[in-house]
Amino acid sequence: MRIIGLITLAISLSLIVGCSGPLPQRINLAPEVVSAPRLPQSMPVRVDVNYPSLQLKIGTVADRLGNEVPVWVTDNIRNEIQRAATQTLTRMGVATSSNASAQLTISIDHLSYNLRSDGIRRELVGDMRISMQVVDGNRRYQGKFESNRREEIVRTPSEAKSHEFINLLASEALFQAFNDPEFTRFLIAGAR
């Protein structure tokens, strides 16, 4: 009799756990700029990243039953973007140093990620807007870049799928920034 009670309890717990819906997702950014021009010469720069909103919750995902959970980026987002920027600049032939007189600042103006559903079709939607500025004495470069992604899906995205989607979104925004001809001309001109 006691064994039947334990089996019933185990089955009940597995049903509760199995029906609890998706878990909140925490995303580490690791964007990668797959190609950027190699510069013949460039001035060195200091790299800084601003995330003025400090909003770590960037959106939500929900399962087919409507169980909605938040999607968060880590509080290390500034360092994660700075690491990607520094690696890209190094591949471009640009020296980065905390002592450089020129300051390159990337601002994350907007980052959102959601799962939209009309009852039949389910779609991941992401938007990222960044600003990039370089100040070198009296010279100044400014650019704004936007990345939008949409992807139709069948199942609620796993944390790994969300990680992939958001990193592709961030990679595209950074790709646009570092491949802006005005930006590369500004760096080359500063080396003279």
pLDDT for 119 equals 74
Provide mean pLDDT across the span 44-68: 91
pLDDT for 52 equals 87
Q: Which one is predicted more confidently, 7 or 130?
A: 130
Find the helix or strand (DSSP H, E) in which 12 lies: helix 2-18
Cα–Cα distance, 15 to 10 (Å, whole number): 9
pLDDT for 23 equals 87
Whether residue 6 is predicted with pLDDT greater than 60 in this model: the reply is no
pLDDT for 5 equals 57
Report yes or no: 31 and 81 within 8 Å, Cβ to Cβ: yes
pTM, entire model: 0.86
The mean predicted confidence, pLDDT, of the chain is 90
Residue that is written with structure tokens 């990620």 in the block: 113
Whether residue 18 is predicted with pLDDT greater than 50 in this model: the reply is no
Provide mean pLDDT across the span 74-100: 96
Could you confirm whether domain 23-190 is CATH 3.30.160.150?
Answer: yes
Percent of the chain exceeding pLDDT 70 equals 89
Tell me the DSSP string of 64-108. Answer: TT--EEEEEE-TTHHHHHHHHHHHHHHHHT--B-TT-SEEEEEEE
Torsions phi, psi for 139 (to 5 deg): -90, 145
pLDDT for 22 equals 76
